[in-house]
Structure 1
Amino acid sequence: MIKIKVPATTANVGPGFDSFGIALNLYNEIEIEETNKQTELLQEGNVSDIPKEKNLIYTSLTKVLDEHSYKYKGFRINISKCNIPISRGLGSSASCITAGVIAANKILGNTLSEEDVLKTCTKIEGHPDNIAPALLGGMVVSLMDNDNVIFSKVKVPNNVNFAIMIPEFKVSTEDARKVLPSSYSKEDCIFNISRASMLIAAMNNGEIEKLRICTEDKIHQPYRKHLIKNIDNIFNKCKELGSLCEFISGSGSTLAAIVKKDNKKFINNLNNYLATLDGNWKVHLLEADYSGAKIL
């Protein structure tokens, strides 16, 4: 049996649309075992209601095996710990794809390099912003150059945490893409380029006092905010409670705030406020994960 642990990820991080991602210490754990029976898909020991044709762990696993002409009959796939919620902007699909490809590589005798695994995962996902940090850990800037994935690691200041606010409602990636405009003004592009560049520098240099201005965005958040009820009120409350910045995690519906580790009252006060709103919000105070996906 192969056991794999994959972290959640928050992508975009304000201006880094489809390019920036940070791995967080919230994990799915997946068990994959090859069998001589029909494939069995489980979630925390119970039969999954997702058919294998739509199960990203299974489809990613078998895609790689098929490409290498590996013969198999079936698998027992169990998400033994499912902590990354689906369709909330925390990289649940990336975690499943990464687990499937890593398991396939293990079955094949680790014939794929880390670069090959990253490239394969990205090809399945379509973009690397969640895949790269899920696989590599930490904060990662990534881009596509033809079929190649180019990435660079960014330091995360050691004196900050991530307040991750997860509602019960979902925002599908498809819906979040539909609300985006087909073109942007030169001014908006310059706005985002400057802030994305400054965000990398500020993170690398530990200049956390600059995070608020350099997580501003005009490419996706102004259009997606309408899909998330009470977002402005929540962001204003986070700022009032002392957060360094706030942003939509991925395409939502999860929201994120970066807070100083010594802001001890932030989470309790935020929880009390969110309890007054619709959405059944749950808050996790997380740190960056630096290990990425790994076989246990």
Structure 2
Amino acid sequence: MSVTVPQASTGPVDLVGRRVRVKVPATSANLGPGFDTLGLALARYDELEIEATDAAAHDIEVHGVGEGEVPLDETHLVVRAMAHTFSRVGVEMPSIRLVAHNTIPHGRGLGSSGAAIVAGVVAASGLLEGVVELSADDLLEIATELEGHPDNVAPALFGGLTIAWVTPEGPRHKKLIVHRGVSPLVLVPEHEMSTALARSLQPQSVPHEDAVFNVSRSALLIAALIQSPELLLQATEDKLHQNYRAQAMPETDRLIRVLRAAGHPAVVSGAGPSILVLASDPSARAEAVRLVEESAETAWQPLPLAVDFLGATVTPVAD
């Protein structure tokens, strides 16, 4: 990672009083065949306000999702991401006052941990404006170090549809604009799913024909999302990860089969257990909701969402 550190910042840096507002979208990774590579930013957000203070300890307040559940000290994921960012650029992190208003569901495959990491990274970059300049590649690299892979943090950072890959020089991404005919729907169950558990169900190797199958569908999916939405049902077919994870989320698997049999491009959102439907229009989205209401054995919350095209934003807050 190469960052620009002005000579004046080599001594102690006084950031006390600086305040930023951060907004980060939810994301859905994989999108069927694009395992650990493709991600989509969705218009559901965590919004935070962070101020550098001279207090003896961090002051953290959480509203909405995670309230009363997430830690309110230095182990909070946003704070950990901020601390990692400050450490990577060689600047001492001040105490912070953090107020978070969260709407991204936790443990449901909508990138909540990636959003928290991105929130911390961009908050740190905002507080360090004029002291340390971080490029887009720097932000992606720091976020990926914490998340482990770039498929969620890339769309959370940059918005839209992202292709993410890793090079010897670090992770990279390409942002694409999704066709206006794509109407995402997320179906969220009451139960959570552990990403670690989902990943543990993956085999170390897959049959050659399955790998070729997914390569073809991943390429087709890019075309379907940016140009030809009518191809989305075929383009979202997968043989690389969803079948192996089905045993851990049987109702997710069953409902996806029901939806796809009715012509809806439905896939596991991220590590699950939520379902992402890449509908062709709002009426198809409504039909998918009706089908799930008739078929589900437990409660599922439908979230008709737009694609977010901006990604994470950080805005200085004046006194």
> TM-score with structure 1 length normalisation?
0.91
Map of 2:303 onto structure 1: 284
Count, aligned residues:
291
Find the partner of 2:116 among 67, 72, 96. 96
Aligned mates of 2:245, 2:182 — CA distance in 1: 26
Find the partner of 1:150 among 165, 168, 172. 172
Larger radius of gyration, structure 1 or 2?
2
CA contact (8 A) 2:117 2:143 kept: yes
Map of 1:78 onto structure 2: 99
Q: One-letter code of the match for 1:118?
A: L
Find the partner of 2:276 among 236, 244, 256. 256
Superposed CA RMSD in Å reads 2.0
Asked whether 1:210 is paired with 2:228, we answer no
Find the partner of 1:35 among 42, 53, 59. 53
Aligned mates of 1:107, 1:213 — CA distance in 2: 45
Map of 2:9 onto structure 1: none
Q: Could you tell me how far 1:267 is from its partner in structure 2?
A: 5.5
Q: One-letter code of the match for 2:129?
A: G
Aligned mates of 2:152, 2:288 — CA distance in 1: 25
In structure 1, list runs of 5 or more residues that go unmatched.
Answer: none
What is the percent sequence identity of the aligned residues? 34
Within-5 A mapping of 1:55-204? 55-80=76-101, 82-109=102-129, 111-204=133-226
Aligned mates of 2:289, 2:244 — CA distance in 1: 30
Q: Deviation digits for residues 207-256 of structure 1, max 9, x if unmatched?
A: 2222111211111000112211323431244346652x110011111111
Asked whether 1:272 is paired with 2:290, we answer no
Aligned mates of 1:255, 1:150 — CA distance in 2: 27
Q: Deviation digits for residues 177-216 of structure 1, max 9, x if unmatched?
A: 11111111111111111111111122232x2222111211
Q: Could you tell me how far 1:55 is from its partner in structure 2?
A: 1.7
Aligned mates of 2:271, 2:98 — CA distance in 1: 28
Q: Could you tell me how far 1:73 is from its partner in structure 2?
A: 4.2
Match of 2:308, SS state, is coil
Greater mean deviation of Cα atoms: 229-238 or 264-273? 264-273
Map of 1:222 onto structure 2: 243
CA contact (8 A) 2:61 2:72 kept: no
Q: Deviation digits for residues 72-129 of structure 1, max 9, x if unmatched?
A: 442122212x111111111111111111111111111151122211121112211110
Q: Could you tell me how far 1:48 is from its partner in structure 2?
A: 5.7
Q: Deviation digits for residues 230-286 of structure 1, max 9, x if unmatched?
A: 23431244346652x110011111111111224164255146326x522x3111011
Q: Could you tell me how far 1:41 is from its partner in structure 2?
A: 2.0
Aligned mates of 1:158, 1:64 — CA distance in 2: 36
Q: Cα–Cα, structure 1 residues 214 and 77, in superposed 2: closer, same or farther, change >3 Å?
A: same
Q: One-letter code of the match for 2:305?
A: L
Q: Cα–Cα, structure 1 residues 112 and 68, in superposed 2: closer, same or farther, change >3 Å?
A: same
Aligned mates of 1:93, 1:152 — CA distance in 2: 21
Following TM superposition, the consecutive aligned residue runs of length 4 or more in structure 1 with deviations greater than 4 angstroms are 45-48
Match of 2:250, SS state, is coil
In structure 2, list runs of 5 or more residues that go unmatched.
Answer: 1-18
Aligned mates of 1:72, 1:180 — CA distance in 2: 38
Q: Cα–Cα, structure 1 residues 118 and 22, in superposed 2: closer, same or farther, change >3 Å?
A: same
Greater mean deviation of Cα atoms: 92-101 or 60-69? 60-69
CA contact (8 A) 2:110 2:269 kept: yes
